Chain A
Amino acid sequence: MSSAQYDIIVVGGGPGGYVTAIRAGQIGLKTALIEREHLGGICLNWGCIPTKSLLRSAEIFEYMKQASSFGLSAEGIGFDLQQIVARSRRIAKQLNGGVAQLLKKNKIKVYDGQAQLLGGGKLRIENDDKAIEESSAAHIILATGARARDLPGLEADGKLVWTYKEAMTPKSLPESILVIGAGAIGIEFASFYNSLGVDVTVVEVMPQILPVEDAGIAEFAAKAFARQGIKILTNTKVTELRKGRNELTAVLIRNEEQSEITVDRVISAVGVVGNHENLGLENTRVEVDRSYVVVNEWSETAEPGVYAIGDLAGPPCLAHKASHEGIICVERIADTPNIHPLNKLTVPGCTYSRPQIASIGLTEQAARDAGYAVRIGNFPFQANGKAIALGETEGMIKTVFDDKTGELLGAHMVGAEVTELIQGFGIAQSLETTEQELMRTVFPHPTLSEMMHEATLDAFDKVIHI
């Protein structure tokens, strides 16, 4: 068994881990990365990227169905589910290879295996339960991510009850699906299968779908989904799943009223839990709270020299949050000047359904709860020329400003391409602009982005086009 010494060892090769390793390599630190399954992690292989491929297929299918409204004709339109899935797998594979290239370019030593922390900056790398190397590093960064949460009685079995993995690679199309959980993952699958003609029902225990989003935006989105035929049951709990041969019956409780629904498949999307097991954390002082490793604002755990970033360090469980935490963590280790802990309010959230939902910062309610006197701006897609030309008039943009300082506290969007728009408000927030700079920015005409300008103007009673 060989042994090696590194400046930094990163455990986990997802969007948190591999980005962290590349940044460490750029700085000139001797860096290793340990990945047990595939580079790129869930995001690239089983999450963000392949689902975007599926949703793109569904979107184009929707366009084809609406061809006549654009003066086009499309006859005999249909789809091949296997080809839709194959495309998404191909894209994941392509990017997975890309990550390997990037790591090589930055001289990162990549280990295929499982890491076991031994304490005192040491760790053992195992493959098939065989130790292949014992290494040590001054800094060990844990980036092992998260996995789908299993609720008791609703455990996924991969056949009738799917997690994202099975939902992403269906062999055939079920006639009906019950999605449990109306977060971003649940809503994206609901939107995808609904577009392909599946009878979709979504249940959510909270009073609104997309519970982290602004209530007004979530309500707007819920109405849009309902118009498309998705059945949405909020304030509803699944208490029991009775499995049949090729179908299941779910027992639902809503407002103390019990009902049953029988579907072909269930997709469980009730959140994620951190992958903290089998890492040898018991050999260290690292603390775990409800599946997430406890860290301070600099991603430091209770064990000196051991850090945790990304999903493992707690929500929001988003790839871009993991990448940023990793970069900050490495730069702090390297004593880079002028770095700041990640402000989680500057992490945007995106849902790629039809319509899309995107947001950053505080919701209106959260801002009010935090004691701000707020100024709210709204602008509808219906009043935007580009949206009308695109045939995408369903949507709105909402801004939340601090009345006292003009700080942009939050921005919330629903509608076509809003996931590509939200970064504009992200830049505004990170540059600490006030409403004045946003108002004076020239937004190109005709674009959807003009609505961001108008929603800002509206918050200060200066809106032009409504």
Chain B
Amino acid sequence: MPIEIRLPALAPDFEGGTIESWHKVVGDVIAAGDVIADIETDKAVVEIEATDSGILGKIVVVAGTADVPVNTVIGLLLQEGETVADLDNLSVSDRAETVTPAVTDVAPVPTAKQASKPQTLATPEGRLFASPLARRIALRSGVDLNTLTGRGPNGRILRADVEAASSNVTTEVADERYTAIPNSGMRKVIARRLGEAKRDIPHFYLTVDCTLDAVLELRRQFNAESIDGASAYKISVNDLIIKACALALQDVPAANASWTEEATLQYHDVDISVAVATPGGLITPIVRNADRKSLIEISSEIRDLADRARNGKLKPTEYKGGGFTISNLGMYGIKHFSAIVNPPQSCILAIGAGEQRAIVNDGALEVATVMSCTLSVDHRSVDGAIGAEFLKAFKNHIEHSLSLFLGSTSR
């Protein structure tokens, strides 16, 4: 009996995703542990591995298929001695019904939900006649062979049929005035979530100026000392901001919260999401328990997360969740901006550039390095006073910066 390859639950709250590409083609030998496909979830591209060995007998859900629910049979693996003929007797939908109860404890996804969602599945009954080259090109270009009428002998699908189908897709949007960039799963999620946030969340904004001269001097000394050490490190201003945020959230836990209709959820852990720009769009990997980590730990962790975010290799657990978000556009010279709250969180801190400004100190004009920070707040769960208290605490930590370097402070 051929083995079913199912879309695994990539994270506890993972419901489904897009089959971005298959790494294997029908006929490929697969060993357990081989990467077989890339799944695009709402925030990243995740590789999925085979749990069994065999020969890929059929790709049930072709590349490009969106909204594939968890536990869907996406492919079939032939065991030794089996041939394509063994697939003919197999009805994928029937099998899904009968097998699911047995694996319930492994992947608890209700079958009813699976059945209710429309899917683009290859017809399991009957053989699809298509040339090997047509199959491969279809796979690469995301054309579903089931939707094509072959013009080869006896209706066999040829490469020309697939190419015509894939060029039809592009001619629909072809217009010389612009280039149409199809929306990726990530883009769609950004659009949906931020649209909802701006529509549903009553935002208010608080801005504070922080003087950075003291912290920059400490940072200089700190980095200078590390140069000769065995494990040289370099702390960035951003690392210091994450740390200051974490300490401020410790001081004002009410800002580390989510609004729900029944209750406002106040988080115990200080998990800070950090916005990272990637070619595919914005993503927010999480520095967990940032209040309990040293600056060096935060620094190396965020560097690794950002790298993998740019390569689309974050695991869902690394970007799903978090209680508070930092978005820093200082490196672009932005003086000040207001971010959109990242639901279900309540607060997002927008960081502007640190720049030399004329300030008045005790009635005298001085030059100082100043950074404007704007907190966007969901007024349903966090009031103005709490937001202001948070910013005050943040400003205190960043300006009286020794606390940042003292490492974790126990709660």
Interface, chain A (partner B; CB < 8 A): 338, 340, 404-407, 431-434, 436-437, 440
Closest beta carbon of chain A to B160's beta carbon, Å: 7
Of all chain A residues, the one with the shortest Cβ separation from B156 is A338
Pairwise interchain contact B136-A406, C-beta atoms closer than 8 A: yes
Q: Does B386 contact A (CB under 8 A)?
A: no
CA distance A406 to B153 in the complex (A): 22
* Residue among B133, B134, B137, B155 having the largest count of chain A Cβ atoms under 10 Å: B133
Shortest C-beta distance, A349 to chain B (Å), equals 22
Task: Judge whether A436 and B25 touch: CB under 8 Å.
Answer: yes
Provide the residues of chain B in CB contact with A433, threshold 8 Å.
131-133
Residue of A nearest to B135 (CB): A434
Give chain A residues whose Cβ lies under 8 Å from the Cβ of B133. 405-407, 432-434
12 extra interchain contacts, Cβ-Cβ under 8 A, other than A338-B155, A434-B136? A338-B152, A340-B160, A405-B140, A406-B133, A406-B136, A407-B159, A432-B133, A433-B131, A434-B132, A434-B133, A436-B132, A440-B27
17 example contacts (A-B, Cβ-Cβ < 8 A) are as follows A338-B151, A338-B152, A338-B153, A340-B151, A340-B160, A404-B140, A405-B136, A406-B133, A431-B131, A432-B131, A432-B158, A432-B159, A434-B132, A434-B133, A434-B136, A436-B25, A437-B132
Q: Is the interface of A mostly helix, strand, loop or mixed?
A: loop
Query: What's the minimum C-beta distance from A207 to chain B, rounded to whole angstroms?
Result: 33
**Closest A residue by C-beta to B131:** A432
- Kindly report which residue of chain A lies nearest to residue B159, judged by CB atoms: A432
- Return A443 CB to nearest CB of chain B, in Å: 18
Q: List the B side residues contacting A340 at CB < 8 Å.
A: 151, 160
- Specify the chain B residue showing the minimal Cβ separation from A402: B133
| A40 to B154 alpha-carbon distance, docked (Å) | 33
Question: Which residues of chain B (142-163) have a CB below 8 Å from chain A?
Answer: 151-155, 158-160
Q: Is the CB of B134 within 8 A of A432?
A: yes
Most B CB contacts (10 A, CB to CB) among A404, A406, A433, A434 go to: A434
Q: A436 and B27: CB pair below 8 A?
A: yes
Interface size on B, residues (CB 8 A): 17
Give me the interface of B with A, judged by CB distance under 8 Å. 25, 27, 131-134, 136-137, 140, 151-155, 158-160
* In the bound complex, CA of A433 to CA of B140 (Å): 16
In the bound assembly, the distance between CA atoms of A340 and B150 in angstroms comes to 12
Chain A nearest CB from B148 CB (Å) reads: 14
**Closest residue of A by beta carbon distance from B160:** A340
Closest chain A residue to B137 by CB distance?
A405
The 6 closest A-B CB pairs, nearest first, are A432-B131, A432-B133, A434-B132, A433-B132, A437-B132, A407-B133
Chain B positions within 8 Å of A407 at CB level: 133, 159
A405 — which chain B residues lie within 8 A by C-beta? 133, 136-137, 140
User: Which residues of chain B are near A434, meaning CB under 8 Å?
Assistant: 132-133, 136
B282 CB, nearest partner CB in chain A, Å = 32
Instruction: Give CA–CA (A431, B27) in the complex, Å.
Output: 17
Give Cα A335–Cα B134 distance, bound, in whole angstroms: 25
A345 to chain B: closest CB distance in Å? 13
A410, chain B: closest CB distance, angstroms: 14
A434 to B132, CA, bound (A): 6
CA distance A282 to B51 in the complex (A): 73
CA–CA, A437 to B160, complex, Å? 19
List of A residues within 8 angstroms of B158 by Cβ: 432
How far apart are B235's CB and chain A's nearest CB, in angstroms? 44
Bound complex: CA of A340 vs CA of B25, how far in Å?
A: 28
Query: Which residue of chain B has its CB nearest to the CB of A430?
Result: B131
Q: Which residues of A contact B27 (CB under 8 A)?
A: 436, 440
Give the shortest distance, in Å, between B157 (CB) and chain A (any CB). Answer: 10
Distance to closest chain B CB from A331 (angstroms): 12
Q: Within 8 Å CB of B136, what residues of A?
A: 405-406, 434
B131 / chain A contacts, CB cutoff of 8 Å: 431-433
Please name the residue on chain B nearest to A337 by beta carbon: B151
A114 to chain B, nearest CB (A): 39
Chain B minimum-CB-distance residue to A433: B132
- A300 CB to nearest chain B CB (Å): 20
- A459 CB, nearest partner CB in chain B, Å: 15
CA distance in complex: A78, B154 (Å): 55
Distance in angstroms from B153 CB to nearest chain A CB is: 6
CA distance A269 to B137 in the complex (A): 43
